[in-house]
Structure formats: structure tokens, C-alpha cells
Structure 1
Amino acid sequence: MSLGSTFRLFHAGWVLAREGAFSVLPVESLPPMMKAGIGLARLVERRAVRKTGSIERLNAALHKLGPSYVKFGQTLATRPDIVGVQAAADLSGLQDKMPPFDPKLVPGILEAALGAKAAQLTEISEPVAAASIAQVHKARLRMPGEVPRTVAVKMLRPGVAERFHADTDSLYAGARLAETFSPASRRLKPTEVVRTLDHSMRLELDLRLEAAAISEMAENIKNDSGFVIPEVHWDHVAQNVLTTSWMHGIPIRDHAAIEAVGIDRKALAAKLLQSFLRHAIRDGYFHADMHPGNLFADPRTGDVIAVDFGIMGRIGKSERRFLADILYGFITRNYRLVAQRHFDIGYVPPHQSVDDFTLAIRSIGEPLHGRTAADISMARVLGQLFTITDLFEMQTRPELVLLQKSMVLVEGVARTLDPNLDIWTVAEPVVAEWLRREEGPVGRLEDLVGHLTRMGEAAGRVPRLMAQAELALAEHRAMMNRPRDRLMRGLALAVLGAALVLIGALIWRVLTLP
């Protein structure tokens, strides 16, 4: 842990405390130790924050601290039910209204990245969206012999990689400090969580990987409806430049404009939540940065349009089954299933009681049933979850961190579109369809094919393994037949025997001393 990263961590804490970042957290829902820490942090708040409760300067502070802190602010901006309506509004500018970098740098960035093909991008606009990692321009793509097309050109901010690495160094420092001085935090595995987020953010710094993510998701959803993504123009993609088709849509947070064109906000919220669940449960590959700045509504069809695929989440078959069973358990009020799956995947240690954990899950699930989003206090629910995780020594699964963070984002956006959203009713068709498929003939057949494929691969390796074993055996026999090797082996055994006799004699001498 370097001194510089530790200093940056404490500097970030000071800046966040001064600008009121800790004032938006639901203190009443947190454990006593966290309450005490936030109380101390709030002692240094600016007087204006204490007097008005407004955190309008926090946006600028988070931007100065670095992209990782901006991501945290973006998540809070989607949860007015947790941080309050005013705080969420103050933080919403982090989603796509950050100060752009110097426009004079744009031509040089494009030429260095794309070479001669940069000249095919013309009529480049001022930034239409500027976020912590990159900014987007509207442009015209003029390819020889083709009709000009309107495109979106995304460019990484100059120097963003260095800022990001400084961020993650300080986050690692904070995680290690937590593990050192707070044994209770170790079950949350803060270092592994930071490592997971670090990996996803490193991928975000290469726009070629984002182009590949768009391509993979396009294949996954080609037969779906209700969710639309842009098309990649591969000839104009580089590590720091991404060119895609231009998507005409209404920002999903502009509720007045959405209603003005006749789009049903309730239907839009359902499409958003169901699409996300479908991608996570069915495909195991999902958009992991679905804040309102990355989401639009198609004015013609009412579909969800998603952009910015820099952060993607991927989960395996067992994690997908875990998610589906948890949701299905809450939907059907089968709390025993929910509890058992937490034990199966290792969230709860085996020495805990499944019956007691089932009771704790019921205490969370029952108050949520039959209620709309407007009636549910997520701050209270989170407080109850904190208590339960501590009581049952629940372990963090780092591979699910992105999924959990993404579900918080998506649910927050859906709740703003439809305050009366019934999450369980909306989720049920997607979850039930996947479970029926997995338990039905198609799912069983796919499992069988998977097993047979793995057996075939293993069988294919047998001849090579046998050949290697025969070669090793032949070499061993040749070595045994060489007189010099037999002599050396005999000497080695003699030395080993003498050493054992000497050690035995020393032990006997020590034991028999008067």
C-alpha cells in the first residue's frame, strides 16, 4: 500500500465529507459502526450543506476526484428512494453532463487513432454527451460509393487511464485498511470487490472491447423485441475511438417528452426491467451501466434504446440459476427456496441454520408483497439486509457484484418511470419462462449435450496423455539402466539414510537428557 494512494484516499474522504456526500446516506438503516463514522465525517461539512441540505457542488467534487467516484455518484442519482429526491436531482448531472475536454483536441485524436480514415468523419458536432470516461459527438460518415450516414463518435478523455489507475490504487488502499482494522468487514471481501470493479473498468478503457460487446449483445437479442442497441462501424474503431450508428431517442429521464409522444411510461419501465433480467438470466451477459444517461425511448416504437457498453457483466450458469431461483422464490413467496439457494452458492456459511435464515428472508419478503414501488422504503429494506448479512455471516460473492450494482441501477430507473411498479409482477414472466425452459426437455437436452461435449473433449486428450506417459516411462527406464545413475541414486539414498539416523540420534539425546 503506497503512501500516495493512502493520501489520495484520505483526500477523497475529506472532499466528499466537505461537500455533503455522507448526508445523503440513509443513516437510520446502517449498522452502529457505520453510523458513528458518518457522524464524524459530517462534522466537517460546509455550512451551506448543513443549512440547505443541497449538495449541488458534489458533482464537481466527484469529477475532480476521478471517474470511479463519478460512477458511485451516478448510482446514487438513480435512487431517490434511498438518498432523497433533491440529492438524486443534484447528482443527476453526473450521468452525461460533465465538462467536455478541449474541442481543439478532437481532430488530432481522430487522426492519431484512425489515420486516413479520420477524414471520412465530417461535420463533427460539439459534444452531445460528456461523462467521466468519454464524450460523444454527432458526425457524418462519408464512405466512398455509399450514402452518407449519421453516426455517433465516442472518444476517451485524454489522460483518463492515468486518473482511473490512481482511483483504483486509492480504493485498494481503502479496502486493505478496512480488512486490517475492521475484522467484521472481511466477510464482505472488499479487496476482491475492488478487484472485480477494477477489471471491468479496465475493459472500459479500450473502446475496441466495447465494440465487441455491442456485437455480442446484438447476436443475443436479434430475436427479441423492446430493446434496441446501435450498430458498430468497425472501420472507424480504435482503442480510444468508437463509431456507431446514431440512435434517435428521447432521454429516458425526460418524462414530459416521453408522454408528449404518447409512450406509456409503465410499459417502458416493464420493458427495461424485463430486458435486463432476460439478458442476465437467459444470456448471462448484460449491460452493467444502465444509468439514465445511457438510456433512451424510441419515439416511434416505445422501445428502450441503450448506449455505452463500456461496462458489461457476465455470469455463469450456476449464478444465473441462483438469480432466477431467488427472484422466483420471492415472486411465489417460497422463502425456503431463497434461503437454500444462498447456502448452495456459498453466500451463507454451512454452520448457519437454513430454518432461521428462511425466517429472516420471510421478514424481508412479506412486507414487499402486494405493495407498489412508491410504498416500499428501499432504505429500510437495505437496513434490514445489513442486519441479516451480519447476523448470518453472509459472504460477498465478487463475481455477482456487477450484477447487484446493475440491478440497483435498473430498478431505480424503472421506479422513476413508474412509481407504482410492481417488481415481482413484471419479473415473473421472464423468470418463469427461463425456469420452464431449463427444467423442460430443451434445457435437459442442452445439459446432456454439454456433458457429452466435455466428455468428448476429455476423451480426445487421452491419446496425448498416454503418449506423454509412455515417453516419461521410457525415460525413467533409460535412467534406471545407466550405471552412473544407479550409483548416484545409491549415494543419495545412503546420504538420506545417514541424515535420518543422525536426526533420530539427536532427538533421542534431547529426550534422555537429565
Structure 2
Amino acid sequence: ESLLALVEDEKSINWKKANPLLVNMGSAVGGPIANASPETRRKFLEYLLDPEGKEMPEFLLKDVEETIHAEILRAGKVKDPAAIRQLASEGAYAFKYKLEAALMDATPNERIPLFELLLSSGKNGLLHDPAFPLNISRRYLGYGAGSVEEKLLSAFLAVVPPHERSVTVAYLLSQVGQDKSGVKSLFEVFQTVGIKFGQMTSIWKVFGEEVAKETAALKDSAAPLSKAEIEEVLKALPAGERGRIQRLKRVVGSASLKTVAEVELMDGREAVLLVQRPFAEDQIRSNLDLSARFLQELKRRKVDVPVGLFDAVVADLRSQVLGETKMTDEAEKIRAARAHFERLNRDMTGRMNGYRFSVPALVEGFQPRDNILLLEKAEGVTWARAPAELRKATGAQIVESSLRTLFREGWFDPDRHGGNILVDPKTKTIHPIDFGQAETYSKHPFWKSDDRYVFMRFLQGISEGDEKLVWENGLKMAEPGASVDLAGLRTRLAGALDATKDKPVHDRIIAVTNAFVDSGGKFERRFSFGGLKGLMILHGEQYVSSEEFASILKQEAAALIRSKLPLACADYFRKVLASGR
């Protein structure tokens, strides 16, 4: 009933934002569906999933015809019974063709209300079946009995409010045929939090290799703000700042928590406007709380996933995503990034292949605010979409710049994927953008250890299979006050290194991290969500070959060792003495 009321509300009150499919078809099919049997609903569901290959259910066509017949009689303009029947039949078929055309043209999201009606309206709603959600997931979503997808869905539906269960399943049904796994679609229900979480579970392979391949392609698909909504935000600016913006040109899209738009300034320059979605922080907190309940339900059900790593990802995600909600913080990170990349232009002279770095600056005269930021516009194409020759000409510089700032400066952006790099072949400029996740690492004098050195030695231990090196430095990376099961860690760590000795470093990092987490030694965020995640993204983007990536990493590790030579020598001699040589 609530959804039928929504249909009427969309038509009578909220017509400017109305979903055309919902407005045009919702009222007509709502009544018949509410009275339909479970079997009839299943037939209509199959039709909605494949409107081109299936016929509209006869019950719906008949109900529409009877409705039209009654309306003609009520109008009283046509008296001949045969003519009335003919008009009603023609009207019903016109509706049928219109509905079929609308369904074929509709986006997946536009079908959600109809799926929701089949699931929840009336006493025969499919969610009232004792087998729900398995009656839907196995037959229509293609989830195997006992599969990861099925377990995750059942756990998720157990923690969401009852009124959201049918909407969740309706969304999953709308994604059938969209080349998405069930896990991938389920993460999208959590919106920004889910997208980022799905990306993290892909990097850490929480649900295995196959699911990781699917979730690796997750993108934040939150709808951008409209021009009208952005204009409302701009009205709140002081007159002096608002007066410098001549016009809002176009909405470019959305990225994570913000909408990106192009504006023209009064002096003729173009700039990029970043606007945070209203209530973004409240929505994120709500979805993070839901994620925590979801995790507890997985634990309760003893679902066979690495719950410790899952828990660590959720905890890191909470602090990282909430940290991105304030654009004033991002403004400071942009200023730091500009300084680092200007230094790189000098330090990497001769290895830039004729290119230079340029981080878009904040537009002078506009005060950064928690919900709005104005940047100079950078030209170019994202590295991810650039032609192969352009990627080849710039990939090594991107990798080296990231590793240099990490190991030489103690500053690292772990979100350096191909969509966060613009390349302009005309001016031979590489524009790194979006530094909301940038982390800093301690940097001490040459005789003293620091975050950079600890992290480098940890990676060295994993690469060489040196359990002692991994043990010592991994414990230094753990959160302060962590209650680590040292005996359990030794056993798990030895097993992890042995099981992955012939596997890629990526898999060894995951296994070792899981050993620490399961032993109570969760790493501090700058090491897990920062350094380790960032290195795996940097490698996974294939800016360079695996061999070249390893070469650049060794180059920067060697540079760090040279800068810490007394400390490195002391570590070496301790190792020699411990081995008895």
C-alpha cells in the first residue's frame, strides 16, 4: 500500500522528479498485482526480467481491458456494446505495447518499483513465502545453494529493517543481466560505503579470487547533484565569492562523496567545483553502522570468510571515509601534494620523458569549506582511458613519483588509480587529482627508525620470506595497545609464508596481513588502508610491468637504506650475530 501511495504522490506532488515508468505504469499495474497469486507474480517477474523474450501475462492484459471497459461505460459516450469491447481491447493492447516499449528503454533502476510491488504488495507478496529470499535468489538471481552470494544476502537481510528487505531484493533483481555478480550488486546497496568496501574486499580478496575479479570494477555510481541543487549551495557563498562565478556550465559527474561540476569565472577562466552531497556524513554513518551489524551477523552465522580481515577493513573504512567528508582537510592535502610534485619535477629531471607533474591548485579568492571546493581546471584524459602509447609514455613516472614520496618524504596517496590521473599530451603534463586519502608517515634522522623504514623492512621480509623480519616490523605496525596472541601469530605467520612462497607478492601480503589480524595485531590505518592498499592499487593498475614495478620499488628501498645506513648496518650485524655466522 505504501508503494501505491508513493505512485500517487509521484503523480500529484513530486511530478518534477517523477520516474516516468513509475508514473505512467505504476497505477495501472498496481491494482492487478496487489490481487495476483504467487504463481501469477512469478510469471510477471519473469516478464520484467526479459520483456523482449517473454509475453505480458494474460491476467494483466485482461485486468487493464476490464478497467478501460468500465471507464468507457462510465463516460457514457459510446453505447454499442460491441464498440465498447473493441475500444477496450484496442486500449489494452496499446497499453501493452507502451509498457513493453517503456520496459525495454528503462534503466535497471526504473524497474525497481515494479519488482518491489511483486515482492511486497498484497497478502500474496513473494516476500511472504517461507522460502524467501531463497525463492528469489536461486531461481532468478542465479545464486547457488550455499554460495557466498547466498550467505551474504541472507545475513544482510537479517540486519536491515523489515521494510528495506523487499527493496534490496528488488534492486538485485533490477541488476540481472547487467554483468554484475551478486556480491557486487549487494555492495552497491550500501552506496558510497559499500562501493569503497567492495573495492577493498577486491584488493584483499576477502571473498576469494572470482569475487575479487567482479568487485574490482566497482565504481561509485551515486547520482550527482543537479544544477539546481548546486546553485542552491552556491547561494550560500559570500557575495564577493559568488559574484566571481559567471555561470555553472555542466555537471561532470560524481566521485565518492562529491559532485564534480565545471564553472566559468567572471575573468573567463574555467574551474572545477567540488560539492559534497547534502547529509553525506549522516548517510555514511548510517551505512557504516549497518556494515558493522552485517559483520556481526556473519560472525554469528559462522560464514566461511576471513572475518578478522573483514572486520579490519570495516574499521579502516570508517575512519577513512569519514575523514574524506571535510573538504577543508582535502584542501590542505592538495596544498601538500602540490609541494611534493613540484619537488618531484626537479628531482626526477631526466626521467620524466619530457613530461611534468602539475596538481590543480585551489582557486585564489575562494575560501575552502567543508562542503565546497573550487579548483583550477586540468585538461587531459584519465590515464585509465588514455591510448596505449600515452600510458606507456607516462606509467613509470606515476609509479616512481608515488614510491619516492612514500619512502623519501613520508607522504603517500593510496588512491592513485588510473581515474585519478589526467594526462595532457598537448602540454605533456601529468595531473594527479583527488588526494582525500593521502597519509603521512614519520620521518626521523638517519640513525633512528621511523614509519618509512619499518614499512620497507616489513615488505622486504615478505619478499624474502624472512619470518623474523616480518614478525618484528609487523608488530611495530600494529595498533598501539593491541592484544596480540604471539604464539598464535608465530604459527599463522609461518603457515602464511609457507603457503604463499611460490605465489605473487600480492597474495603473500594478503596472507601475512590476515595472520596478523587473526592474531589481534591489526595494523594502523596508515599502513593497512594506506601503504599496503596503495601499493597493491599502484601495482594492479599496470602502469608498468610487474618486473619494472619491482625494480622501481627496490630502487626506492635502496635509497631509503642509504639514507639510514648506520641503522641498516646495525640491523645487518644483529642478524649475522643471531644466525651464529
Q: One fold, TM greater than 0.5?
A: yes
What's the offset of the Cα at 1:302? 5.9
The aligned residue for residue 538 of structure 2 is 410
Question: Is the contact made by 1:343 and 1:349 (CA closer than 8 Å) also made in structure 2?
Answer: no
Question: Is the contact made by 1:297 and 1:303 (CA closer than 8 Å) also made in structure 2?
Answer: yes
User: Deviation digits for residues 33-90 of structure 1, max 9, x if unmatched?
Assistant: xx8755534789999899979218987765553321122344567899944797368x
The aligned residue for residue 121 of structure 1 is 245
2:563 aligned with 1:431 = no
CA RMSD of aligned residues (A): 4.7
User: Deviation digits for residues 154-188 of structure 1, max 9, x if unmatched?
Assistant: 11112322211211222333455567787999994
Aligned length: 396
| CA–CA distance in structure 2, aligned partners of residues 85 and 200 of structure 1 | 21
Q: Which deviates the most, 238-247 or 39-48? A: 39-48
SS at match of 2:555: helix
2:377 aligned with 1:246 = yes
The aligned residue for residue 457 of structure 1 is none
Which structure has more relative contact order (CA 8 Å, sep 6+)? It is 1
User: Deviation digits for residues 345-373 of structure 1, max 9, x if unmatched?
Assistant: 4597443686994675365355448xxxx
Gaps of at least 5 residues in structure 2 are 1-132, 158-168, 346-351, 444-449, 571-581
The aligned residue for residue 258 of structure 1 is 387
SS at match of 2:365: helix
The aligned residue for residue 286 of structure 1 is 412
Q: How does 1:78-477 map to 2 (within 5 A)?
A: 82-83=209-210, 87=214, 91-92=217-218, 94-95=219-220, 98-142=222-266, 148-175=268-295, 188=308, 194-225=314-345, 227-236=357-366, 237-254=368-385, 257-259=386-388, 262-265=389-392, 268-300=394-426, 304-317=430-443, 318-330=450-462, 336-346=468-478, 349-351=485-487, 357=493, 360-361=496-497, 363-368=499-504, 384-385=511-512, 388=515, 393=519, 395-399=521-525, 400-403=527-530, 404-413=532-541, 415=542, 417-418=543-544, 420-439=546-565
| CA–CA distance in structure 1, aligned partners of residues 238 and 203 of structure 2 | 36
SS at match of 1:205: coil
What's the offset of the Cα at 1:288? 3.5
Gaps of at least 5 residues in structure 1 are 1-13, 28-34, 370-377, 445-514
Mark the CA change 1:354 to 1:66 in structure 2 (over 3 Å): closer, same or farther. Answer: closer
What's the offset of the Cα at 1:275? 2.5
| CA–CA distance in structure 2, aligned partners of residues 388 and 208 of structure 1 | 37
2:151 aligned with 1:40 = yes
Mark the CA change 1:220 to 1:86 in structure 2 (over 3 Å): closer, same or farther. Answer: closer
SS at match of 2:375: strand
Mark the CA change 1:217 to 1:194 in structure 2 (over 3 Å): closer, same or farther. Answer: same
The aligned residue for residue 180 of structure 2 is 55
Letter in 2 for 1:129: G
Mark the CA change 1:366 to 1:114 in structure 2 (over 3 Å): closer, same or farther. Answer: farther
| CA–CA distance in structure 2, aligned partners of residues 281 and 172 of structure 1 | 34
| CA–CA distance in structure 1, aligned partners of residues 286 and 502 of structure 2 | 44
| CA–CA distance in structure 1, aligned partners of residues 407 and 501 of structure 2 | 21
| CA–CA distance in structure 1, aligned partners of residues 415 and 514 of structure 2 | 28
SS at match of 1:243: strand
SS at match of 1:209: helix
Q: Which deviates the most, 36-45 or 194-203? A: 36-45
TM-score with structure 1 setting the length: 0.62
Question: Is the contact made by 1:230 and 1:245 (CA closer than 8 Å) also made in structure 2?
Answer: yes
Mark the CA change 1:274 to 1:343 in structure 2 (over 3 Å): closer, same or farther. Answer: same
Question: Is the contact made by 1:140 and 1:150 (CA closer than 8 Å) also made in structure 2?
Answer: yes
SS at match of 2:342: coil
Q: Which deviates the most, 294-303 or 272-281? A: 294-303
| CA–CA distance in structure 1, aligned partners of residues 344 and 239 of structure 2 | 37
User: Deviation digits for residues 440-470 of structure 1, max 9, x if unmatched?
Assistant: 69x99xxxxxxxxxxxxxxxxxxxxxxxxxx
| CA–CA distance in structure 2, aligned partners of residues 353 and 70 of structure 1 | 31
The aligned residue for residue 66 of structure 1 is 191
Question: Is the contact made by 1:156 and 1:241 (CA closer than 8 Å) also made in structure 2?
Answer: yes
What's the offset of the Cα at 1:211? 0.7
Question: Is the contact made by 1:273 and 1:410 (CA closer than 8 Å) also made in structure 2?
Answer: yes
Question: Is the contact made by 1:286 and 1:313 (CA closer than 8 Å) also made in structure 2?
Answer: yes
The aligned residue for residue 574 of structure 2 is none
The aligned residue for residue 96 of structure 2 is none
Question: Is the contact made by 1:155 and 1:240 (CA closer than 8 Å) also made in structure 2?
Answer: yes
| CA–CA distance in structure 2, aligned partners of residues 311 and 273 of structure 1 | 17
Question: Is the contact made by 1:271 and 1:303 (CA closer than 8 Å) also made in structure 2?
Answer: no
Question: Is the contact made by 1:187 and 1:395 (CA closer than 8 Å) also made in structure 2?
Answer: no
Question: Is the contact made by 1:339 and 1:361 (CA closer than 8 Å) also made in structure 2?
Answer: no
| CA–CA distance in structure 1, aligned partners of residues 238 and 142 of structure 2 | 46
Letter in 2 for 1:69: G
| CA–CA distance in structure 2, aligned partners of residues 229 and 160 of structure 1 | 26
What's the offset of the Cα at 1:418? 4.2
What's the offset of the Cα at 1:199? 2.9
SS at match of 1:224: helix
Mark the CA change 1:273 to 1:279 in structure 2 (over 3 Å): closer, same or farther. Answer: same
Letter in 1 for 2:234: L
What's the offset of the Cα at 1:243? 0.8
What's the offset of the Cα at 1:23? 9.7
| CA–CA distance in structure 2, aligned partners of residues 351 and 410 of structure 1 | 34
Question: Is the contact made by 1:326 and 1:337 (CA closer than 8 Å) also made in structure 2?
Answer: yes
What's the offset of the Cα at 1:207? 1.1
Alignment identity in percent? 15
The aligned residue for residue 65 of structure 2 is none
Letter in 2 for 1:40: K
Question: Is the contact made by 2:250 and 2:263 (CA closer than 8 Å) also made in structure 1?
Answer: no
What's the offset of the Cα at 1:433? 0.8
| CA–CA distance in structure 2, aligned partners of residues 209 and 356 of structure 1 | 39
SS at match of 1:223: helix
| CA–CA distance in structure 2, aligned partners of residues 279 and 322 of structure 1 | 16
